[in-house]
Structure 1
Amino acid sequence: MVTHRPNIVIAISIVLASAILAIAVWLLAQMREDALRRAQDSVFNVSLLVERDVSRNLEIYDLSLRAVIEGLKQPGVLDLKPAIRQMVLFDGSVSAKDMGSVLVLDEAGNIRFDSRASPPRQVNLADRDYFKVQRDSPDVGLYVSHPFIPRATTKEVSIALSRRISRPDGSFGGVVVGTMRLTYFRRLFDGMKLGPSGSMALMLTDGTMLMRRPYDPKIIGINLTGTANYSRFTQQPSGDFFGTAAIDGVERWYAFRHIDMYPLILDVALSTHDIYIEWRRRAWIIGSLIAALDVTIIALAVLFSQQMSRRLAAENELRELARTDGLTGLNNRRSFQERVDEDWRRAQRNAWPLSMLLIDVDSFKGFNDLYGHSAGDDALIDVARRIAQNVRRPGDMAARYGGEEFAVLLPDTDEAAAVHIAERIRAAVQGLQRRHVASSHHVLTVSIGVATARDQLIQNSRALINAADGALYDAKDAGRNRVMCYRATTVHVAAREAGEASTAPDTEVRNAG
């Protein structure tokens, strides 16, 4: 099948190339998912490490604040000498790196005790949010403040963790507050690998930015309420999504979580460009190789198809030459004989009439002797052309039967129609007016025998040929240049040609000439 249809080779190559491309696309899609999955695992690990570090340090600081409150409740502590009281109230943990002062404020906001100074500095902090919240809300617990610059210590931006001091009757007795420099979060964030465009942020649950990587001092303290990403942060305790940062407009994959027990939100994000940069490089390499392979497959298929087409064309040409008469261009005797057998069977199945014409050029030997073989060939070509011009139906067939003899097969054609066609051919040849002095008609003419298979008078394809041959002999005997129909008398001419010895009853002679 493929060898007879070259285009199938191209179609198969396209299907194969498409299958290879589909497999490559599927593999690249899997690789892309793997790249995202690895990035997600990395982000989850980073966010977990940061959350644990922040929680641990805040918990330590909160324990220190609780220890101060418990120490103030102990009898006699306030009567101790200042140096000893400092040791009792403020343990060594509050002097760790990035930890600021721990202060005890009275109900008016003045510093009562200071972990870094004795006597305490004279500063009033009643305007700070951590003081106001504790004063106005008895049950707030640990409060994490907005960023601020301390008045009593260094000028580095800090946050404060505070707890309320309540008197035995429940009234407000002051605040214990400890400060933490934001440089702690900055160093912590800088130690994490997030790629060139990755980001990390820590904010209060009300949207206030405490720290962000990449660091920009201008964004510390801004409020993100109303932004798309912050809205997603507040919808659930943790999650992930693709989003675009309101601060720098970079598209990233975000993983966020609320830090346990603290009013803080941590988000870690990787740029989609960074996530897929290695995948893109591999995709270009693989895609280029697959494209080259597909183009090669299709190109080779096209070349193979072209070669096959040329081969088939050559085979068809040889086959046509084998079936065609080289001089006249009509079918040869072999192909005509095959067609007679096929049309005979078809006519028998469908009860169609089948007619045949046998055509012979009159006195052709004399024409050759007088005018030469070259002129004889030209004459045969002219006769063949006139026959072809009058046999035009798709199912009809004209052939050179041998020498100066031609045959025409007319499927589904009765005797009257066959005679009409034969007469047109005879007249067309005579109309050539090709001079032939050896003929009694003085021009080139043909004699035509017509036979039509009908009823049971002609029983097979060979008998049909013999019948047409007998009619042809009748036409020659009657003076040539005429059309004669087969007559079913004692089968004198047809029987002799077939080598038969039997005879048949006489019937009516039909002469179309």
Structure 2
Amino acid sequence: MARHPNAIGVGSIAFSVIVLGFALAVLVQARQDATARAIENADNLARVIEHDITYTAELTDLSIQAAVDGAQDADVMRLPEHLRKELLFDRSATASQYIGSLLCLDSRGKIIVDSTSAVPRSVDLADRLWFTVHRDNPNLGLFISRPLRSRLNPNEVDLMFSRRVNHPDGSFAGVVVAAFRLDYFKNLLSGVRLGPGGAITLLQDDGHVILRYPNDETQVDEDFTGRKNFERFRRTHETSFFGTSGRDGQERLYNFREFEKLKMIVIIAPSSRYVFADWTSRAWYIGIVTALLIVGLLFAAQLLSVEFRHRLEVEEHLRNMTRIDGLTGLTNRRSLDDRLMLEWLRSKRSGKPLALLFVDIDRFKNYNDTYGHQAGDDALTAVAQAIARNSQRQGDIAARFGGEEFVVVLPETDGAGAAVVAANIHSAVRALAIEHTESEHGVITVSIGVACTDTEEVADALALIKVADQAVYRAKASGRNQTSAAEPCGDAAVTT
């Protein structure tokens, strides 16, 4: 603890800053995690939408290609009208409820085969983009138009899937086209839940909107070209970012996905308020708790500082007086240092040996974690008393070194004598039979390191402790519940 009352105030302020910084870091990380989850969910949803639309488009295209193959067969086109229709538009081509009609047009844009009418309807479609684009481009392949209001069914808005039909010499013979109802896309997206304010937009890669969900009566052929968020995507190729809608002013998390096989883009855009709904409530909770904690801490620090001024002298006096470890009743570390130095000097003067045992309770942290700190304190006390009972000669010092570590100083004792004391301590600790399920021995045991003044590495009292500590590590490495002696104190390891 700080030795000056003012340090309490400084420390409490510093700690408050740390707490506040930690709370902010937690909130920032939580916000980033919420964003990452929302992006991942949007990407997964976009993949599912892409897969479903691509699969449906491929099935539709297969029907169109079959009709194109038939239309390019002169024998098929010479068949009677009803047989020709059956061959060109078989049941697989008309099974989908979302295909309004399949048409085969000649080079002038006149319907020559109509899947929904026994007699082809008399409508000139030569001016339609899906017709002219095939007429002018022999190698176009499948063409998907923008949403168009049907000329055959004025109440419908369709996407037109079309392919070119050629004469045997490769010249333009007409077009096979399928009118695909937008109801398919509405039904596909109707089960999606993006929360309040969320929106899904399906558009072609040139920016023309196919469908927006929830359905807001988007006008046919709406174009996103020039809109801020769409242009940001096209310019930077960022697939996820926060942006403000130009339509309603709401901030959303925009997630773009380009289809691999179709010239389409889907935009998943949940509202920012929905993305951060849980985070916002958590932020309020953490903010209030942190504020109360800091205020309480500063208030308590002020009271403590005042009280500390009055008690500082008394505490200092008591600290100087106490020489006993409050938990175990053994000599404390401060007293150990003083008394060990005296015994070291006495040993050097008299030439008589001095031995030191370093005792460490095996796997004590696991014991604390399993049985709790109260049980740990009880175990520490019991082991300390067992050590004390086996070091009762005049001049022997049994001390708590720190945590679960103890030191026994044995004046006028050589390595052999120290090994005997170590064995007695092992036996006494095992006799306690304190259950320890996390230990390989089933009960609390100790590892002991032995050092003595005969050891070459021992140049002073501190070195004596260091050598004994190193011996403890060897005992633990050898399986614990052992004594390891530094040469020439005794054998390298003695199993008890």
Q: What TM-score do the two structures reach when normalised by structure 1?
A: 0.58
Q: Percent identity?
A: 38
Q: Sort the Cα spacing of 1:235 and 1:52 in 2 relative to 1 into closer, same or farther, 3 A.
A: farther
Tell me the equivalent position of 2:197. Answer: 197
1:329-408 equivalences in 2 (<5 Å): none
Query: Displacement, 1:213?
Result: 1.6
1:146 equivalent to 2:146? Answer yes
Tell me the equivalent position of 1:50. Answer: 49
Match for 1:224: what amino acid?
F
Query: Displacement, 1:243?
Result: 2.1
Distance, in Å, in 2 between the alignment partners of 1:102 and 1:37 is: 44
Report the secondary structure of 1:215's partner residue.
coil
Superposed CA deviations along residues 82-109 of structure 1, whole A, max 9, x for unmatched, are 3332221112233312211010111111
Match for 1:252: what amino acid?
R
Report the secondary structure of 1:234's partner residue.
helix
Aligned-CA RMSD value: 2.3
Distance, in Å, in 2 between the alignment partners of 1:44 and 1:288 is: 35
Q: Could you tell which deviates more after superposition, 74-83 or 155-164?
A: 74-83
Answer yes or no: is the 8 Å Cα contact 2:232–2:238 preserved in 1.
no
Distance, in Å, in 2 between the alignment partners of 1:241 and 1:310 is: 59
Tell me the equivalent position of 2:134. Answer: 134
Report the secondary structure of 1:261's partner residue.
coil
Report the secondary structure of 1:159's partner residue.
strand
Q: Could you tell which deviates more after superposition, 206-215 or 172-181?
A: 206-215
Q: Sort the Cα spacing of 1:163 and 1:157 in 2 relative to 1 into closer, same or farther, 3 A.
A: same
Report the secondary structure of 1:294's partner residue.
helix
Query: Displacement, 1:124?
Result: 1.1
Answer yes or no: is the 8 Å Cα contact 1:238–1:257 preserved in 2.
no
Distance, in Å, in 1 between the alignment partners of 2:86 and 2:64 is: 14
Query: Displacement, 1:46?
Result: 0.4
Match for 2:77: what amino acid?
L
Distance, in Å, in 2 between the alignment partners of 1:106 and 1:212 is: 34
Q: Which runs of 5+ in 1 are unaligned?
A: 316-513
Answer yes or no: is the 8 Å Cα contact 1:200–1:268 preserved in 2.
yes
1:272 equivalent to 2:272? Answer yes
Distance, in Å, in 1 between the alignment partners of 2:296 and 2:238 is: 51
Match for 1:225: what amino acid?
T
Distance, in Å, in 1 between the alignment partners of 2:100 and 2:44 is: 29
Query: Displacement, 1:61?
Result: 0.7
Q: Sort the Cα spacing of 1:165 and 1:200 in 2 relative to 1 into closer, same or farther, 3 A.
A: same
Superposed CA deviations along residues 54-99 of structure 1, whole A, max 9, x for unmatched, are 1011111111110001112335212333333222111223331221
Tell me the equivalent position of 1:491. Answer: none
Report the secondary structure of 1:217's partner residue.
coil
Tell me the equivalent position of 1:259. Answer: 259
Answer yes or no: is the 8 Å Cα contact 1:100–1:181 preserved in 2.
yes
1:159 equivalent to 2:159? Answer yes
Distance, in Å, in 1 between the alignment partners of 2:164 and 2:138 is: 7
Distance, in Å, in 2 between the alignment partners of 1:30 and 1:313 is: 46
Tell me the equivalent position of 2:64. Answer: 65
Query: Displacement, 1:309?
Result: 4.6
Query: Displacement, 1:160?
Result: 0.4
1:107-126 equivalences in 2 (<5 Å): 107-126=107-126
Tell me the equivalent position of 1:82. Answer: 81
Distance, in Å, in 1 between the alignment partners of 2:219 and 2:9 is: 62
Answer yes or no: is the 8 Å Cα contact 1:238–1:258 preserved in 2.
no
Superposed CA deviations along residues 211-262 of structure 1, whole A, max 9, x for unmatched, are 0123222344211211222223434777222222233222222221221232
Report the secondary structure of 1:218's partner residue.
coil
1:226 equivalent to 2:202? Answer no
Q: What TM-score do the two structures reach when normalised by structure 2?
A: 0.60
Match for 1:205: what amino acid?
D
Distance, in Å, in 1 between the alignment partners of 2:67 and 2:145 is: 19
Distance, in Å, in 2 between the alignment partners of 1:83 and 1:162 is: 22
Q: Sort the Cα spacing of 1:61 and 1:233 in 2 relative to 1 into closer, same or farther, 3 A.
A: farther
1:91 equivalent to 2:95? Answer no
Distance, in Å, in 2 between the alignment partners of 1:200 and 1:104 is: 34
Superposed CA deviations along residues 118-149 of structure 1, whole A, max 9, x for unmatched, are 11111111121111111122222211112112
Distance, in Å, in 1 between the alignment partners of 2:165 and 2:73 is: 14
1:39 equivalent to 2:38? Answer yes
Distance, in Å, in 1 between the alignment partners of 2:104 and 2:154 is: 18
Distance, in Å, in 2 between the alignment partners of 1:130 and 1:136 is: 10
Query: Displacement, 1:190?
Result: 2.0
Distance, in Å, in 2 between the alignment partners of 1:262 and 1:125 is: 25
Distance, in Å, in 1 between the alignment partners of 2:2 and 2:164 is: 91
Q: Which runs of 5+ in 2 are unaligned?
A: 316-496
Q: Sort the Cα spacing of 1:44 and 1:218 in 2 relative to 1 into closer, same or farther, 3 A.
A: closer
1:167-178 equivalences in 2 (<5 Å): 167-178=167-178
Query: Displacement, 1:2?
Result: 3.6
Query: Displacement, 1:164?
Result: 1.0
Answer yes or no: is the 8 Å Cα contact 1:86–1:115 preserved in 2.
yes
Distance, in Å, in 2 between the alignment partners of 1:295 and 1:81 is: 92
Q: Sort the Cα spacing of 1:238 and 1:123 in 2 relative to 1 into closer, same or farther, 3 A.
A: farther
1:104 equivalent to 2:104? Answer yes
Superposed CA deviations along residues 382-408 of structure 1, whole A, max 9, x for unmatched, are xxxxxxxxxxxxxxxxxxxxxxxxxxx
Q: Sort the Cα spacing of 1:237 and 1:90 in 2 relative to 1 into closer, same or farther, 3 A.
A: farther
1:306 equivalent to 2:313? Answer no
Q: Sort the Cα spacing of 1:122 and 1:80 in 2 relative to 1 into closer, same or farther, 3 A.
A: same
Q: Could you tell which deviates more after superposition, 49-58 or 120-129?
A: 120-129
Distance, in Å, in 1 between the alignment partners of 2:248 and 2:210 is: 17
1:242 equivalent to 2:242? Answer yes
Q: Could you tell which deviates more after superposition, 241-250 or 176-185?
A: 241-250
Q: Sort the Cα spacing of 1:126 and 1:75 in 2 relative to 1 into closer, same or farther, 3 A.
A: closer
Tell me the equivalent position of 2:376. Answer: none
Answer yes or no: is the 8 Å Cα contact 2:43–2:257 preserved in 1.
no
Query: Displacement, 1:311?
Result: 6.5
Superposed CA deviations along residues 422-478 of structure 1, whole A, max 9, x for unmatched, are xxxxxxxxxxxxxxxxxxxxxxxxxxxxxxxxxxxxxxxxxxxxxxxxxxxxxxxxx
Query: Displacement, 1:47?
Result: 0.3
Q: Sort the Cα spacing of 1:75 and 1:111 in 2 relative to 1 into closer, same or farther, 3 A.
A: closer
Report the secondary structure of 1:256's partner residue.
strand
Distance, in Å, in 2 between the alignment partners of 1:28 and 1:314 is: 44
Tell me the equivalent position of 2:282. Answer: 282
Distance, in Å, in 2 between the alignment partners of 1:237 and 1:78 is: 48
Answer yes or no: is the 8 Å Cα contact 1:237–1:258 preserved in 2.
no
Q: Sort the Cα spacing of 1:139 and 1:33 in 2 relative to 1 into closer, same or farther, 3 A.
A: same
Report the secondary structure of 2:149's partner residue.
coil
Distance, in Å, in 2 between the alignment partners of 1:36 and 1:28 is: 12
Answer yes or no: is the 8 Å Cα contact 1:69–1:165 preserved in 2.
yes
Match for 2:44: what amino acid?
N
Report the secondary structure of 1:292's partner residue.
helix
Specify the structure having the higher radius of gyration (Cα). 1
Distance, in Å, in 2 between the alignment partners of 1:135 and 1:246 is: 38
